[in-house]
Copies of this chain bind each other. A is one copy, B any other.
Amino acid sequence: MTSLPIPSSQLLEALQWRYATKAFDPTRKIPAETWSALENSLVLSASSFGIQPYRFIVVNDRATRERLLPHAWGQAQIVDASHLVVFAARTSVTATEIDGFIARIAATRGVPVESLGGYKGMMTGMLLSEGFQPFAPHWAARQAYIALGNLLTSAALLGVDACPMEGFVPAEFDKILDLPAQGLTAAVACTLGYRSSGDKYATLAKVRAPKAELFKTV
C-alpha cells in the first residue's frame, strides 16, 4: 500500500456526509471515470466462497425507469438519479455454476482444477444440500447486501450521493427486468448521483442509537 491507510477522520467525514438522498439533481450525471470506479468496487465486494451469487442491473434506459417507478411507490429517485442499480440475487445455486466458478479459480490462479477438490466439496456440500435450498435466495440476497454496504461507503468517499432502496415490489421489478428467466430476483436497489440543493433531508441530524446501546462487549 502506498497511499493507504487514509486518516480515520476522512473516513468518518464521508460516512457523516452520506445520507439516504431523497431528491437528486436530475441534471447532474456521475462522470464515466467515477462510475467505472464504483463498478469496480462492486466487482471487488466480498461474497460467500467468493462465488458472487448476484448480478448488477444498471438501468440507464429512461423508459424502463418510468415503468419501474410506480412499483417503487413513485419515489422520484428512480427516474431523477444519475444511476440506478438493481441488485439481482440468484434464487438458487447449481452444480454448473459451482463448476464454472472452480474453473475460473483454476484459470485465474494457474492451478489444476483437481487441486481445488476440497474447496469444491465444501461448496457443494453446503450449497447443493437439500436443507440449504429454501435458504439459498436469502443467502444470495445477503451477499448482495454486502455489496450494497460496500457501494454506499465507496460512493460517499468518492463524493457521490446514494439512496439504498428496499421500497419496491420485487415481483414487478423482476418482470420488467426479465430476472426470473436468468435465475435472479431483485433483492435491493440503489440510486446514485448528486443531491438536489433543495433536499431538506440533507441537513437533518443523523439519528442513531448510542454506542452503549448498539454495542455489547463480552
Report which A residues bind B (CB closer than 8 A). 1-18, 20, 33-34, 37, 39-46, 48, 50, 52, 55-61, 64, 101, 104-105, 108-109, 138, 141-143, 145-154, 157-160, 164, 166, 177, 188, 204-209, 211, 213-218
Contacts and interface: CB of A to CB of B under 8 A. Distances in A.
Given A149-B149, A205-B109, A157 B58 contact: no
Copies in the complex: 2
A211 to B, nearest CB: 6
A10 to B, nearest CB: 5
A208 B143 CA distance: 14
Contacts of A13: 1-4
Given A108-B207, A149-B150, A218-B60, A17 B42 contact: no
A58 B1 contact: no
Given A56-B214, A60-B218, A215-B55, A157 B104 contact: no
B209 A52 contact: yes
Nearest to A160: B5
A15 B148 CA distance: 14
Sort A-B residue pairs by CB-CB distance and give the 4 closest, nearest first: A149-B149, A5-B159, A8-B37, A145-B145
Given A145-B146, A153-B153, 9 more contacts: A4-B17, A46-B164, A52-B214, A55-B215, A58-B216, A58-B217, A142-B142, A146-B148, A149-B153
B12 A6 contact: no
A17 B45 contact: no
